[in-house]
Each structure stands twice: as C-alpha cells, then as structure tokens.
Structure 1
Amino acid sequence: MSEIRTVKKLIRAFRSVRPPWFRYLLASLLTGVVLMALFIGSVYAGLWGRLPGKSELRDIRHDRASEVYAADSSLIGKYYLADRQPIAVDDIPDCVLEALVAIEDERFYRHSGIDYPSLLRVFFKTLLMGDSGAGGGSTLSQQLAKNLYPRSGGGGPGLVVDKLKEMFTARRLERIYSKKEILGLYLNTVSFGDNSFGIESASQKFFGVPAEELRTEEAATLIGMLKATHSYNPRLFPERSLERRNLVLDAMARNEYLERERADSLQALPLELDYNPYSANEGMAPYFRETVRREVANWLKDRPGADSALNLYTSGLRIYTTLNPGMQRLAESSMREHMQSLQADFEEAYGNRAPWKNNRKFIDRYIRQSPPYRKLASSGLGHEDILDSLGQKRPMVLADWGGETETEASTLDSLMHYARFLNTGSLAIDSRSGAVLSWIGGINFKYFKYDHISQSRRQVGSTFKPIVYTAALESGIDPCQHFSAREVRYENLEDWTPSNSGDKDEAYLNYSMQAALQNSVNTVAVKVLEQTGIPQVVAQARAMGIDAPLPEKPSLALGTGSIGIPELAGAYASFVNQSRPVTPYLIERITDREGNVLYRHEPEKDLQPAYSERTRQLMLEMLQAVVDGGTASRIRSTYGLRGDIAGKTGTTQNNKDAWFAAITPRMVHVSWVGLESHEIGFPNTRIGQGANAALPLFAQWYGELARDPDLREWTTQRFGDPSSEVAGLLDCEPVKRDGFFKRLFTNPDKAKTRKFKDNNGN
C-alpha cells in the first residue's frame, strides 16, 4: 500500500509542474530514457543477436594460414583464405604496442573498454557540429570486438545495435584479459591490407622479417596503415604512407614513448620495403609450393583417422620441406639466364619458317586443342563463331622475357604468343635420400601453370641408354665387347633403320660399350638391347624405380619411352647410392599450430640393390667418360667445371626434347627443355641437342654452387676409385676400325638388312 501511495504522490507532483510545456518536455525526456534503457537492455539480453559469452571469449581461435618452410626453416610460402599468423603478445616488440596505443587509443590504459570522454567528443563534434575528422570514439577493445565479430552491415538502428554489442563485448574482454593481452589479440586480428591479417603476416609481407625483429620506423609504418589499409599501403602509395608513418612517430613522442630527438631522426629516414607477397604466382619456387599444396591436400583427405576439422587454408599447419633455398635461388637465376638466351637463338633460327607464324595447319590444330576453344565448343558454338569470339581484342597483358606489356590483343593473339615459348623442368635431389633440393617446374608459373616435373612425362631419348647398358652388364655382356656402328635395316620391323648423327665413316667403326655410351651411338645401343633382351631391359628399369609404361620394342633403346623427371632422377641416383634407386620426396614433416607432429617422412627401408656393385662401378666410370670426353664434354671445355661429375645427354626424334642427367657424389640433377606442344621441335640439332639446350641448366647452376661459400660443400665430394677388377674390365681399345678388305666391301651409304632378334628369340 505504501508503494501505491508513493506513486500517487509522484504523479501529483508531476502534474503540479509549471509551465505545462516543461512538464511535457520532462515527460518526453523520461520516456526517451526509459525507451533507451529498454533498447540497451534488449541488446544486452541478445534480442538483437547473441553476445559472445565469457567462455567463448576465453577461447578465441583465429583462422590461420598454413606455412611452408624450406630445409633451413625459412618461410617460403603460405596457403590461406586470409593471410594470418597469430603470435604470442610477448613476441610483439614494445615499439609496435606503443605505436598502436599512441595513434589509435591514447587513453587505452585509463579506460575499461569504453572511453566515455571520446564518446562525448564524437557526440558533440560529429553529430552536433558536423566535424567528420573527430574520429569514431571506438577504443582498441571495441575495435577488437568488431574484428572478432564483424558487423551486420546495416545502417541506422543496425549500426547502433552493432556499436552497443561492441561496447558490451569490449567490457567483457577487459574483464577476461589484461591490457597487454588485448593489444596482442587486436594485433593478431586486424587487417593490414593486401589480404594480410595480424602483425606477423604484415611484417613478413612488407618487410621480410618476423614481427619481433621490426624496427621502430617499420612498426610505425604498419600501424599507420590501420587508419585506411588501402590509402596508406606503402607498396601502393609510398609518399602517403611515409607521411602517415611520421604522424605515428610524432604521436609516440607526444605520448612519451619516444624521445623527441629520436622521433625526429626516425622521421628523416626513407621508407624501405622488402615486399614478400607469398602468393601462388610469386615468390620462390612456385611450382614446388603448388606440388606441396596438392600433396598436403591429398594427405588431409586420405590419411587414416583424418580429423575433418583440419583445413589446409585455415588450420595453421606448418609444412617443413626438403627444399634448399640457396640452391633454389641459384637454379631460378640460372634458368632465367639460359632460357632467355636459348629462346632468342630458337626464334632466330626459325625466322619466318616458325610454325606459329605461317603454318596454317599447325595454327588451326593448336587453336582447336586450346582450353578456350574447347570451352566454347562444349557450349555448342560452331567453329566460325568460336573464332569470332576468340578474335575479339581487349586490353591484355602479354609477358615475355623482357617483362609484361599492356596491349590490345585477342585470345587468339595470346595463344599464338605463348605457343612459341620454350619451357623447362629441372630437378635436383639428394642421391642418398631422394630429398628434393631444387625444383624448376617451368619458366613462369604465372603464365605457364603446367609443371613439367610433377605433371609431365616426355620421351627421354638417350638418357635411357644407361639403363640399357646396366641391363647388358648384368646379363653378362663384357664391357669391352665391340659392336659395329653400321646401320641396320630391320626387315621384320617395317624396315626400321636407326641411324647415328656422325659421318658415313662411322659405318666402319666398332665401339666398346664405354665408347658407345660416351658418344651416344644409336646403332650400338639397339644392338646392345638386342643382345640383352627387351624383357631384361624393362625389368632393369623397373628395378631402378621406373614405373612409367615402356614400349617393349627395339626403339626403347633410343628412349622412346615417356618417363617423368622424378623417376629418371631416382633411377640415376642408384649409380651413387649402393645400386639402390630413391624416390624423390618434398615434405619432411607436418605439424599442427601447436607443434604436434602429424606426419613425418619415413625413409625407404630394406630396398634391395637394383644391380651388382661391379655393374654400379662400371656404369659410373662409363658415365664419367661421357662428361670427360663425350657428348657432355662442354661441362669441362665450356663451363670449366672440375668436380667429380658423371652424366648423360639426350635428344629425341626431330629435336622435340632435350635432356641432361647429371650425377655428382651427393646429388642427381635432371633437366629437360622443349615446347608445350609436341608438334613443335627445335629447328635444328645444333640448338636442340641436350648438350646445348638442357646441359647448361646444370652447368651454370653447379658452377654457381661451387662459388658460393655456403653451398660449395655440395661440389667438393669424390666418387671414389673403382676396384682393380673394374678398372681392368674397362682397359681396352675404345674404338676399332674395320680392316681394309672389310671396308672395301662395305658400302657406308647402304644399311645392312636383317631381322631383329633379341636373346629371347623375339
């Protein structure tokens, strides 16, 4: 009853207020206050969308980029939806924290998540006086809340709701975390532009260092971006970014985080970036990183007991690879130097005969096989309509070895522009383990996505001959047995007549196996295959780790089988790995964001030798002879390399593919050069032979390794001397010439005709 009497008294007092207009004003104000209180209460109660609870705020987990590391633990790439690498607040230097507080929230340490003086300033200056430069009044805690729980995007009442939710969330954050922890959370969530989130990713991207190594002026540059990440991006607008950086330094001095003299000296420094985009198209080893991405994606999908919560782009996996970054840099620079020069020679030799210029049949076939043409054809368009669509010119960027050019061009122009480019694949592995040391999948990942290491199999030419000769030695053929180099027309093989690139006088010569391999004599390779047996050669290839389909035909001796670069490299490794092939691999281990090992590469165990130690030593000596005085002698004469090196060149029919496989005591390096289209070959053997097109990729790279003090150790090892037995087996006359009467009755212009019959009777 007393409460009712009290209410009645208040009503009578309110009615006695004079004048009446003041009573109405007071009523309106009270009603507004009540409605506002109800509105704020409804937001707090979650009627406008739930507010995060304390347990949720205590367990904040950000989506995190997965990181790819080289063998020396340097960061070489990332896979992400948003480029974020959260770090502990203790790993963030004081200069970053101080710059942030100085420019974004000067009273940060004096409020509890809501800065009421700032709110009053915004109310009076922005709303009443129309001053758009008065700021937004949000504290760092409120900005953190906005970063964690993005706004709905609505205006008017929706914006007010979002603001209130951020204020409530900010107060809860302040009760859970210390001030320093809130700064750490903020710096791990905020966007710095260029799709980088968090101070660590921004530091790595713009300055090439971890956040803990940031200098004060660099920290000020990054913090200055937060006002407008695009407008103050130092990559895009360096002058504007410099002005903003200096404003941050001035704020740090004003708030006594820097001495004035120190701030003045830092403001005088130029803006210097070390930009590392960590994008798929740019940076070190893009083909390698893409292959790693595919392997990890498949591993996540197929691994036993797979955790569906793990995601390559958001779970923050750490992928530690085998790549040697020093070797990779030298491989990339050597590739660019050689391929640019080779491309110029290639186009000059073709001249106006180039098929991409005047061969209408080739151009028509090439266009019909292209993805743009096939896509339009699948939609039902006819040939003429497709050509009309592909012929429409538009602004386009075309790239060549001179860089990128903006021009008006059509899709047809683009197709023929890129049809002329030579491409390449080169791989270096540790011959004892198979660990990949360097990986060049093509000349430019941005414009040529096809990886000629992981995706391609091409005819390998004479680089297959060592496998033939290995099988021959294992079958008991004496390495000093001599084989005639005379051409033979095999009548049971549709008169197939393998030939050599030498002069007619070669018909009178008889080569030992070492000399035949040294000079890559085709006719002898076929005869060695014939005496050994095709099944034995195929079985030897399988034992050496080659799984690719192989043609069980005599042409196998000349490398008509299409084999991938990794398989060939693994097979060649057996010549310095106790006769055991290796399987090239890229990933050493994978951990989660806490460092728990999820995957570790397990070395191959109990792998049996593919052939005897005697054969291994014989083949290694024979392959060294290829370098010391055979088809790969440019290594010594042109490039002046003096280390222990063995190897084999290869050139396929019509100069379509150029190869070189190199062996050193610790490494195997395989390189291929050719065109994307199998229809185009090199214009002549002088340019297209393996010794000219592919060998320099190894030779230039190896020479740089030998000059690099950090990598020189890879070039100073020795093969070791062969046994006395092996040395004796090779102690014979390399080439014998037919006697006078045999030469008299031999026509060098006419091939001998007989049937091909291997030792299995086939």
Structure 2
Amino acid sequence: MIKKILRFLLKLSLFIAFIVAAFITAVNYDVFGHIYTKDELKDFNNEEASIVLSESNSVIGKYFQENRTNTSFNQLPKHLINALVATEDARYFEHSGVDTRSLFRVLFKSILQNNKRSGGGSTITQQLAKNMYGRKDYGPLTMLINKTKEGIQAYRIEQTFTKKDILTLYLNTVSFGENVYGIEAAALRYFNKSVSNLKLEEAAVLVGILKANTYYNPRLYPQNAIKRRKVVLVQMEKYGYLTQQELDSIQKIPLKLEYNNLNSENNTGYFLTEVKKEAQNIIKKINEEKNTNYQIETDGLQIHTTLDINLQNAALQSFQSHLKTMQNLIRKQYKNSNTLRKHIDNILKKESLYDKKFEKKKQLVFDWKETYLDSISIYDSIQKSETLLHAGLLAMNPKNGQIKAWVGGIDHSMYPYDQIYAQRQVASTFKPILYAAALEENISPCDYLENEELIISDYDNWSPENANKKLGGKYSMAGALKNSLNIPTVNLFMKTGFKPVDTLWKKMEFSSNIKNTPSLALGTATASIFELTKAYGAFANNGELVQPYFITQITTGDGKIIYKHQAKNKNNIIKENTAEIINYILQKAINEGTGTALRSKYGVKLPLAGKTGSSQNYADAWFASYNPDLIMVSRVGCSSPKIHFNNGNGSGGRLALPLVAKTLKKVQHQKKYHTSFKPLSDEQLESLNCDDYKEKTGLEKFFDIFKKKDKNFEKEQQKADKKNNESIFKKIFKKKKD
C-alpha cells in the first residue's frame, strides 16, 4: 500500500514537474506574450521628460507624457542605494534576478492560500521588468503568468546589465506617484533638489513611497510617510547599513518637504506655453530636414531659454503686491453699482441664464490670498469675474530680442488666455510713434504746437482735451510729448499727415490697421503688449527692429546641440537720430513728466525712458519703460472695457506703472540692466535747445481773435499730404549743384 502511495506521489510529482516545465517553456517561448531578448533589452530607453532651463540653467519647467528625468549611477548617493536594497531586496547582490525564497513564499501564500497581504516577493530586477514592459491580464492565471514572465525577463536583464546598471534603470523607471517617474524627478518634486543632494532621511522617504505611492505620499499623508520612513531606516539598521545610534538620531529628524510642482505651481506657465509652441516648430523642422524623429515629450531634450528667472519672480511678486491692492479698490467702487448690475444682467440674458442667476454650484474662485473651492451663485460668479483685474508684463532685451520676463496673466491655471497677446487701445503709448513719424518727416523737435481749444467739425465737433484741462500757449514737440499733452499732439498729427504715421506703424509690424481720424493721435489704435514691446525696442536699439525669441539652443540629454538660435539680419525702420531724440524726450518724461513716480515714489534709479497710457474712461492702463539693456511693458484692465476705474486709480501712472517700478526696484541691485543711453551730440542738443512751453506774443493773440476755432481736419490732412508729396518730388528732381 505504501509503495502504491509512493509510486502515485512520484508520478504526481513528475506530472507536476512536467506541467511546470511545459508551462515555463511556453512562457519562455512567448506563448503568453513576448519576452524581450538581450539585444532588445540593450536598446531599451525610458521615455524621458524634456526640461526647460532659464538663462542661468535653473529648471523652470518640463514637457512629458510621463514626468521622468533619467540619471546615472554616479549621481545616486550611497545611502539611497543602501535604503533601497535593505527595504526592497536585501539579497539583491546575491541572486541572479529571482529570489527563490521569496518566490516560494508568494507561491504558497499568495496563490495557494489566496493571501494578498503576503507581499509581492519580487526582486528589484523583477520589479524593473514589470516597470519596463508592464503587465497584462490573463484571467485566473494572471499572477502566475506575469510572475513567471518577470522571472524569465529578470534573468535576461541580469545577463545583460551589471548590478549598478540595473539599480540605475530601476530608479529611473519606478513611479513615485503624482505622475512622477524616476528618482531625479521625485527628488525635485518633494525636496526641490537633485538626487545627488538628497540627505539620508530624504532618501528614506522616497524609498518608502515605493510601497504605495499614494498612501505614503509625504505631501498628502505626512504621518504615513514618517512611519514608512521609520520602517526603511530600521531595515537599514537590520542589514548593517546604519548603527543603532545613527538610527535613533535620524528618526528624530522631522519631515521637511520643499514641494515643487512645476505644473500646478509654476511661475512661468504662460512662458512655458510659448516655449513649447516654438520648440515644437523647431523640432518639426529639424526632423524634416535631417530625417530624425525627436519628440519633445519623450526624448529628454534640454531646451535652453532666454528667461531671467530673477526678473520673472520679481515681476510675479509685483503682481501679487500691487494688483491685490488695486483689486480691492475696484471691487469697493462697484460694490453697490447699478452700472455693474445692468452689465451682469445683460450677460445673463445673452447666455440665457437670467432665470438661473441665483443657482449655486461649486467652482474654483481666484483670490490674491488663495484660490479656493466655493459654492457660489452664477450671478456672484459673473460679478467676481467681470470686476477682476487682468494684467500682463513683458520684458525684452532690445539689442537682440531675448525675452527676459513673460507674465501673461494673474494665474495660468485659472486664466490661461495670455494677456501679452490681447489687443487693446494703446492710448498715449501711441504718441512716441506719431512723434517719431514727425521727426522722420524732418519736423523739428523745437517746432511749436498750439495748445488752444480745438474743435473738429468733420468729426462731430470732436474736441480733444488735455488731461490737466489747461489751454493756451504753445508747446515744443519735446514739451508736448514729455507732458503727454493731447491738443498739441492732435495738431502735430494734422501737420505730419496720416501717411507717414501709417507707414511707420506698418514698419513696426503691428497687426491691426489704423484709421485716418484725429483721435488716432491720442491712441485709439489697438495693439498687444507683445507688439508694443517690439516697437519700443526700435527706440532703445538705435532704430533697429528686432524679433523677440525664447529659445537659445536645444540639446539632447547627452549634450548634443541640435538647434542654436541664429541672429536675423538688421531691420532699421527709423533713423538713429530719430530714435535718440525720442529716447531723450522720454527720459525727461520719466524724470520730469508723467512717469516721475518711478523715481519719487518707488525709488527706481536705473537709467530709463518711458511713457504712460490711459485709454478712454480708464478702460486700460499702460506703461512702457526701457533703456539699452531692457524694455518692459505692462497693461492692466478688466476683461470688458465697460468695467473700469472711474478716477485716476485707473491711469497708467497708478495702475500699470507700479508693476514695472516694483519689478525693477527688486532687481536693480544686480547691476544687470544699468546701461545708460548714448549722450546726444552737440548738434542734437542744439536742435532741442528750446523751452518746452512759451506764451503767445501780443501780436499772435491779436491775430487769434480773427481765427476760427473750427479746424477742418480733412483739409489740414490734404495740406499735410500735399506738402509731403511735394517734398518727395523735390528730393527726386532737385537740380544738382555744380
């Protein structure tokens, strides 16, 4: 009987062995899906995020399908390796891919006893196999098939790579939650540092995450993370990587995170959006020309940009401090406003929401203190939205077009529309363009312009007014521009003619067309911050228009340069003399005119020229300032021009200028943007040697009595254009002197 039982057990054992062998053979020969060969393993590459770098090489963003940054073994701290091995695979350096003891534990506890809490039993190499190629569902046999496949794959991995290579591959492949893959990306996310700089207690936290990357997430569940860190440290002591004294000391260290999510908390979101567009166009062209297949989200490229991160951060801090104050003021103004109520009612009716205006729903609400989730009515939501101040600020090097700061709005995640491209009336920031056109037509900066009441009958008796309401006397071109006077400016426009202004407008590459109306002189034309920055750059750069750009070069992960920015040919759109005269006048505007708050209130000492602008009814506030190193333009206003400040709080000097002033104040100690303007020549100074203002003589006043107040705009324009045409005719056909 015993012999029969033994014979049966022997046959059963042989049968089971045969089945197991047959099963393993079937798995090995790809019956249940492909297992990668040694040659295929050698060609394995992790998908890797491309990183975006500032001009100082600090990481400011990433583009990825999986947020991963690969690293080499030499960058991995020894205590990180020790923590990983002690916790995940204590016999890592002894086995050849599969730990038999752990495998049997899984076989009997997980499979035969259906105990899912017994642990995975996988070695680091097996986990790598799973991370590299994933798992598939095979029904009831899923666990058995996947474990077998991973065992075979792990053996091939061990035959292909060294133990150091395997550890490196594993740490570059594993997930740390929050769509973060690889130890370098995890170190940046949770501790804002490179993996090579991780302390032991920080490395233990990251290794602890691997057990369950949500439950042990140190940001979401810090207490869980501390408990898991303790487990990791105890394992290190158990296997001789730490002494008991070291263990006791490290366990007392509190959890200190420096959480850094470049996606949800990025200070450069608007800039990164633009960089990605440009990078994709560049890479597409490279792939077409060189028959390559670079991908921005998977190939670990390094995109080097022009951004000055210190200037960018200073601008963001200025937005926070200034707009928070101004937001409170405009909300206070509209607190019980019938105008706002009617405006909201019109929106509700247009969107067929009037009957539902008091219905509440949960939504994110932006506030300068914090963005929070709240249950808010449709009416209140629109009220907050319509009275919200939006703003943009752009800084550029006028010599070469490098973008130095790009703040496209108040919050990229909440309001992704980029204010840098919004078309708005440019107000008095248009005036330097008109005055430059006049100088190009050889009108002298000391030509005097009348400041008497002006009524233009051809345009419904339109009558421009100066902001200070003062009339009388005459102003030189320089005096009128310095003080941003409207009546002399309209007179200059009629003297210059529309055509020279239109020609310069087009040379400056504005996208909108301007109309031949007298109000054009005061800035009814529309343009974006981007366009105005480029145009003013021509003043700062001796008359040369440069093209703004973001990317200096793109390299592969190993440093190969695949793209390098090439400077474009010069494009001089105004004479150097014209640019220098405008610069001289606009420096006076900062030091003596409409921009004096930059010096007196905010203490900015940089050499600067500049111009404020306030569009009709204070709908938008502008400020542009520049020197040979930097041009900075800001604009502030609500989304609808119907909602605006009803007093001087909405002026360019009070609403837009402080954004630039506070930004420059924070960086001026760096001595980076301090280049002064070129001094004027004696001849140029002579051309400006006149008083800004002069009273009319008695004879002029006498003849004014006989003059009509009415000015026929079209006749004045015809005269100016005729004069321009005659001037051109004479230049072409004038007789040459012997």
Amino acid at match of 2:422: S
The residue matched to 2:406 in structure 1 has which SS? strand
User: CA separation in 2, counterparts of 1:518 and 1:648?
Assistant: 9
Aligned residue among 524, 548, 551 for 2:515: 551
For residues 654 and 751 of structure 1, what CA distance do their matches in structure 2 show? 26
Of residues 424, 448, 460, the one that matches 2:426 is 460
Shift of 1:178: 0.7
Moved more, 529-538 or 163-172: 529-538
Q: Which residue does 1:635 correspond to in 2?
A: 598
User: Secondary structure of 1:585's match?
Assistant: coil
Q: Can you list the C-alpha shifts for 1:166-200, whole angstroms capped at 9, x where unaligned?
A: 00000000001111111001000000111100001
2-structure distance, mates of 1:127, 1:38: 19
Mapping for residues 431-580 of structure 1, pairs under 5 Å: 431-453=398-420, 455-503=421-469, 506-580=470-544
Question: Are 1:760 and 2:721 matched, yes or no?
Answer: yes
Higher deviation after alignment, 620-629 or 575-584: 575-584
Verify the 8 A CA contact 1:428 1:668 in the aligned structure 2: yes
**Deviation of 1:584 (Å):** 1.6
Q: Deviations over 1:583-642 (max 9, x none)?
A: 22111111233332222211122x143222322221111101111111111112212323
Q: How far has the Cα of 1:539 moved from its partner?
A: 1.5
2:473–2:693: 8 Å Cα contact kept in structure 1? Answer: yes
Distance 1:761 1:641, change over 3 A: same
Give the corresponding residue for 1:194.
178
Range that drifts further, 614-623 or 406-415: 406-415
SS of the counterpart of 1:263?
helix
> What is the match of residue 729 of structure 2?
none
* C-alpha separation in 2, matches of 1:264 and 1:307: 58
The one-letter amino acid paired with 2:381 is: S
Q: Give matches, 1:203-282, under 5 Å.
A: 203-279=187-263, 281-282=264-265
Shift of 1:564: 1.8
Do residues 617 (structure 1) and 580 (structure 2) align?
A: yes
Aligned-partner Cα distance in 2 for 1:390–1:353: 17
The one of 612, 615, 618 equivalent to 1:652 is: 615
Paired residues of 2:546 and 2:571 also in contact (CA < 8 A): no
How many angstroms apart in 2 are the aligned matches of 1:680 and 1:354?
12
Structure 1: segments with no counterpart, 5+ residues: 1-16, 374-382
Q: Map of 1:65-464 to 2, 5 A cutoff?
A: 65-124=49-108, 126=110, 133-279=117-263, 281-301=264-284, 304-305=288-289, 309-353=293-337, 355-356=339-340, 358-359=341-342, 362-367=343-348, 373=351, 383=352, 392-411=359-378, 413-453=380-420, 455-464=421-430
> 1:247-289, CA deviations, whole angstroms, 9 ceiling, x for partnerless residues?
212222222223332232222111111111111x422211111
User: Counterpart in 2 of 1:713?
Assistant: 672
> In the TM superposition, what is the alpha-carbon distance from 1:34 to its structure 2 partner?
1.7
Which sits farther off after the overlay, 26-35 or 56-65? 26-35
How much has 1:740 moved relative to structure 2? 5.6
1:739-758 matches, within 5 Å, as: 739=697, 752-756=710-714, 757-758=716-717
Per-residue deviation, 1:407 = 2.2
Q: Write the distance in 2 (CA, Å) between the matches of 1:53 and 1:130.
A: 32
Instruction: Give 1:129 deviation, angstroms.
Output: 6.9
Q: 1:25 Cα shift?
A: 4.1
1:488–1:754 contact (8 Å) kept in structure 2: no
Contact 2:86 2:235 in 1 (8 A): yes
| Equivalent of 1:666 in 623, 626, 629 | 629
Give the aligned residue type for 2:604: L
- What residue is the counterpart of 2:728 in the other structure? none
| TM superposition shift of 1:392 | 4.7
Letter aligned with residue 483 of structure 2: N
Structure 1 residue 354: Cα displacement? 6.3
Deviation at 1:368, TM superposition (A): 6.6
TM-score, normalisation: structure 2: 0.92
The alignment partner of 1:316 has SS state of: coil
- Contact residue 490 and residue 496 of structure 1 kept, 8 A: yes
Name 1:380's counterpart in structure 2: none
Once the two structures are TM-superposed, the CA of residue 131 in structure 1 deviates from its matched residue by 6.2
Evaluate the alpha carbon distance shift between residue 389 and residue 102 of structure 1 in structure 2; reply closer, same or farther with a 3 A threshold: farther
Match of 1:8 in 2: none
Moved more, 284-293 or 490-499: 490-499
Distance 1:285 1:695 in 2: 22
2-structure distance, mates of 1:528, 1:68: 48
Structure 1 distance, partners of 2:564, 2:274, is 17
* C-alpha deviation, 1:150, in angstroms: 0.8
Which residue number in structure 2 is paired with residue 599 of structure 1? 563
Percent of matched pairs sharing the same residue: 36
CA–CA separation in structure 2 for the residues paired with 1:272 and 1:516: 59
TM-score, normalized by length of structure 1? Answer: 0.89
* CA spacing shift, 1:487–1:295, aligned 2, 3 Å: farther
Q: Is 1:691 the equivalent of 2:653?
A: yes
- Displacement of 1:153 in angstroms is 3.5
Distance across 1 between alignment mates of 2:511 and 2:713: 30
Q: Does 1:730 align with 2:688?
A: yes
CA distance 1:368–1:599, change in 2 (3 Å): farther
Alignment check: 8 A CA contact 1:347 1:354 kept:
no
Q: Which shifted more, 333-342 or 612-621?
A: 612-621
C-alpha distance in 1, partners of 2:535/2:301?
32
SS class of match (2:250): helix
Q: Find the aligned partners of 1:253 and 1:275 in 2 and give their Cα distance.
A: 28
State the one-letter code of the partner of 1:543.
K
- Larger mean Cα displacement after TM superposition, 123-132 or 732-741: 123-132
| Partners of 1:169 and 1:190 in 2: CA distance | 17
RMSD: 2.3
Consecutive unaligned residues in structure 2, runs of 5 or more: 724-738
One-letter identity of the residue aligned with 2:197: E
SS of residue matched to 1:161? helix
Aligned to 1:379: none
* Aligned partner letter, 2:362: P
